[in-house]
A and B are shown apart, each in its own frame.
Chain A
Amino acid sequence: MPTMNMIQALNDAHKVTMRADDDIVVFGEDIGFFGGVFRVTEGLQKEFGKTRVFDAPISEGGIVAAAVGMAAYGIKPLIEIQFADYIYPGYDQIVSEVAKMRYRTGGEWTMPMVIRTPYGGGIFGGQTHSQSPESLFTHIAGLKVVVPSTPYDAKGLLIAAVEDPDPVIFFEPKRIYNGPFDGHHDRPVKPWSKHPASEVPEGHYAIPLGKASIVREGEALTILAYGTMVHVALAAVEEHGLDAEVIDLRTLLPLDIAAIEKSVEKTGRCMVAMEAPRTSGFASELVAQVQERCFYHLEAPIERVTGWDTPYPHAYEWAYFPGPKRMKKALEKVMAD
């Protein structure tokens, strides 16, 4: 089985779906001849031609709007927003148009499309190349929100997203494009090739949206995480010798509530982790869901491990990022009593 990093796995998902479906069209900033700033679309223009893979103007609003028009025509847009931090000019089109179209037309016009965008910190990208705006999309009725955490999942989830009848915002944790990250920024970078989930089958396979993955089974507590934070959480659990169950949510909307409930009912403790700022973030929704559903199983208050409620900094990146120290403190609190 081939070994791939997340970029190669995503690239392969493009090829697999585009070979099977002529209606898929890929466009975004720098994604054509050059293959994208992170190389996810490398070689696609050569294989599929310029009318199916092309560069777009620096106009995220225009990119999403063009995708809306194309979807209305019958094309399946698979578009890239170069950084999630750049998605805001397209927000009106996503929120008011893409998300609402099926509903407002009584199901007559649908918007099957995938909007891929690299998100998250850990790369010294400063305020405009590090944000985690997923909570701004999980709040929107009509969208699906997906975040992979391994090459294997990235390919299977992207294929499922492309084949889904509803619009999907596909957040790619750019810190782990080339290798998993345990939160210890001072340690050498590990490549994906040493991780079992870098084994990516050739050809078509889909990981159903709305299904979480239990990446570590355990009895002592449940950790809910997604994207880069899955790896940060796993490392913290090992470092502190805790028998934690770690759930990689994979799809934030719709959420796999059954997997979460089952786990928290078993462990009686829960911690949630995300990179995004704390206030009104998706972690808060997770806390609310667990509290509403599992209150009488809980032995301790639910803990949140998040970024701070500040803009994403540059030099102070590691003071901002929810790394091992924040993990340790939260784990101690949730395991107390």
Chain B
Amino acid sequence: MSEKDPSLRRNAPRLALHVPEPPFRPGDTPDFSSLKIPAAGSAPRPDTTAAAAETHPLATALVRVLGDDHKAVGPWDPKLDADTLRKMLRDMVTVRIFDDRMYRSQRQGKTSFYMKCTGEEAIAIPAQTALDREDMHFPTYRQQGLLIARGYPLVEMMNQIYSNKGDKLKGRQLPIMYSDKAYGFFSISGNLGTQFPQAVGWAMGAAIKGDSRIAMGWIGDGATAEGDFHSALTFAAVYNVPVVLAVVNNQWAISSFSGIAGAERATFAQRAVGYGIASLRVDGNDALAVYAAVKWASERARSNGGPTLIEFFTYRAEGHSTSDDPSGYRPTNEAKAWPLGDPIERLKAHLIAIGEWDDERHSAMTAECDAAVRAAQKESEKLGILPEQGKDDVGSLFEDVYAEVPWHLAEQREEALDETR
């Protein structure tokens, strides 16, 4: 456009496009001191039957239970017994070890892809601990903790990651796109956000049938920009659906910081305000706060009080996946500077602070978890690793497209089998 362009002639300021930039880029020193972190125990806890509007101040607050002294404090303290806390800690430690082992497996060429949830272990595991075994999850790819918390066999997860003979998904899905009906874990989609309104649909089904089970939908901060996020909130609000809707705000969508999803102007929890549904914003690195929030929302849903949108504020401590190198877009020490801390260390410190744990027991437990993961890996690898797969049952490629194989797939199956001869 030239200066003679008629659109520029008027005596008016030049319009400017704002493209959000994260506060720190590689080479910068991350400094989160301007981030306001409310004190643990400071957020009020409305009754689960309260009007949605009563929760809306919490959309800009932060529900936190674990204080700087590692004690639980305030109205959101779920007052969990020590066994439950230790079980959560064990599951969180297991997830981290599992992630490390599988990451290494990918680097060793045993599979194509892996995604860790490092730094986010206090989200899925306490969330599942707060729900019933029969409730249904519509997860994203970073909620492996749900399966671990439900006691899913580690070897089954690895079989899927290796696409080996034991993979119940028959080698069809990218590693970590688990699915298990019996464990209330819906098939993970690589198309982001699709599961969020599906969770609402499942819970609508439960409401239509007068069931007592509820659904929990999961999404990341980045995918809240998808239309599916807003469809989910619309349907959840319109039909007062018994669903818990969780945004895991780990602040990074691959290389795009949460500002690219709109976080500069409002919190993700605030998205609920316009829909008139209950809203909570929670310290996602605080296992007790996560548990308490999901318990609150599930009780509300179960008593026909309707949906709740929960934002878990956390930080993706590692790369998006094995295909990502975050040093290209953020400071390498940013995770260490993140002020909400390591969720495992925080829960461990709490158990120690209340006299229910010590370093020795922690080391022993960690060793047990490590042994369990190693044993599962050994067992799974007996059933094969990815590079060996995809050869001996080419015909299976054509199954499960439909209930029965139609003629055109049968023809193509013959062609494909012919190529193997």
Knowing A57-B234, A62-B197, A142-B401, the reply to whether A109 touches B187 (Cβ < 8 A) is yes
B238 contacts the other chain (CB 8 A): yes
- List B135-191 residues whose CB lies under 8 Å from chain A: 136, 138, 168-170, 172-173, 177, 179-181, 186-187, 189, 191
Q: A102-B400, A104-B169, A254-B407 are in contact. Are A65 and B186 (CB under 8 A)?
A: no
Is residue B395 within 8 Å, beta carbon to beta carbon, of the partner chain?
no
B228 at the interface (CB under 8 A from A): yes
**Residue contact A69 to B204, C-beta cutoff 8 Å:** yes
A198 contacts B by Cβ under 8 Å: no
Query: How many chain-B residues does the 8 Å CB contact rule pick out?
Result: 46
Contact of B401 among A74, A103, A105, A108 (CB under 8 A): A103
**Residue among B186, B194, B197, B406 facing the most chain A CB atoms (10 A cut-off):** B197
Q: Which residues of chain B are within 8 angstroms of A67 by Cβ–Cβ distance?
A: 201
Considering the complex, give the chain A residue whose CB is closest to the CB of B167.
A106
B231 on interface, CB distance cutoff 8 Å: yes
Query: Which residues, 313 to 327 on A, are CB-close (under 8 Å) to B?
Result: none
Measured between C-beta atoms, what is the minimum distance from B268 to chain A in Å?
19
Q: Which of B169, B198, B203, B403 contacts A105 (CB 8 A)?
A: B169
Query: In the assembled complex, which residues on chain B have CB atoms less than 8 Å from the CB atom of A203?
Result: none
- Which of B187, B235, B407 is close to A101, meaning CB atoms less than 8 Å apart? B187
Residues B198 and A69 in contact, CB atoms below 8 Å apart: yes
Which chain A residues numbered 37 to 77 have a C-beta less than 8 Å away from chain B?
A: 51-52, 56-57, 59, 61-62, 65-70, 72-75
- Decide: A68 and B234 in contact? CB cutoff 8 A: no
Q: Once the chains bind, are A69 and B402 in contact (CB under 8 Å)?
A: no
Q: Distance in Å from the Cβ of A287 to the closest Cβ of chain B?
A: 16
**Inter-subunit contact B170/A106 (CB<8 Å):** yes
Assess whether A96 is interfacial by the CB under 8 Å rule: yes
Complex: A59 Cα to B235 Cα, angstroms: 9
- Docked Cα-Cα span, A249 to B401, in Å, equals 22
Determine whether B227 belongs to the interface, using a CB cutoff of 8 Å to chain A.
yes
A25 within 8 A of partner (CB): yes
> A56 vs B200: C-alpha distance in the bound complex, in angstroms?
13
> When the two chains form their complex, are residues A70 and B194 in contact, meaning their CB atoms are under 8 A apart?
no
Asked whether A201 is an interface residue with its Cβ less than 8 Å from the other chain, the reply is: no
Please give the distance in Å from B206's CB to the nearest CB on chain A: 6
**Looking at the complex, which one of B138, B169, B177 makes contact with A69 (CB distance below 8 Å)?**
B138
**Which residue of chain A lies nearest to B233 when distances are taken between CB atoms in the complex?**
A62
Instruction: Kindly state whether residue A11 has any CB partner on chain B within 8 Å.
Output: no
Q: Give B191's nearest chain A residue, CB to CB.
A: A96
A residues near B198, Cβ cutoff 8 Å:
65-66, 68-69, 72, 97
Considering only residues 67-93 of chain B, those with a C-beta below 8 Å from chain A are: none
| Minimum distance in angstroms from A150 CB to a CB of chain B | 24
Contact A106 B194 (CB under 8 A): no
* A108 and B168 within 8 A (CB): yes
For the complex formed, measure the closest distance between the CB of B235 and the CB atoms of chain A, giving whole angstroms: 5
Closest-by-CB residue of A relative to B243 is A69
Give the distance to chain B from A256, nearest Cβ to Cβ, in Å: 9
Q: Could you jot down 5 A-B contacts, CB within 8 Å?
A: A57-B235, A97-B191, A97-B194, A104-B179, A106-B400
Known contacts A73-B206, A97-B198; 6 additional CB pairs below 8 A are A62-B232, A65-B201, A69-B200, A105-B181, A257-B407, A257-B408
Q: List chain B positions with a Cβ less than 8 A from chain A.
A: 136, 138, 168-170, 172-173, 177, 179-181, 186-187, 189, 191, 194, 196-209, 215, 227-228, 231-232, 234-235, 238, 399-403, 406-408
Q: What is the interface of chain A, defined by CB distance below 8 A to chain B?
A: 25, 51-52, 56-57, 59, 61-62, 65-70, 72-75, 89, 92-93, 96-97, 101-110, 141-142, 144, 165-166, 210, 254-255, 257-258
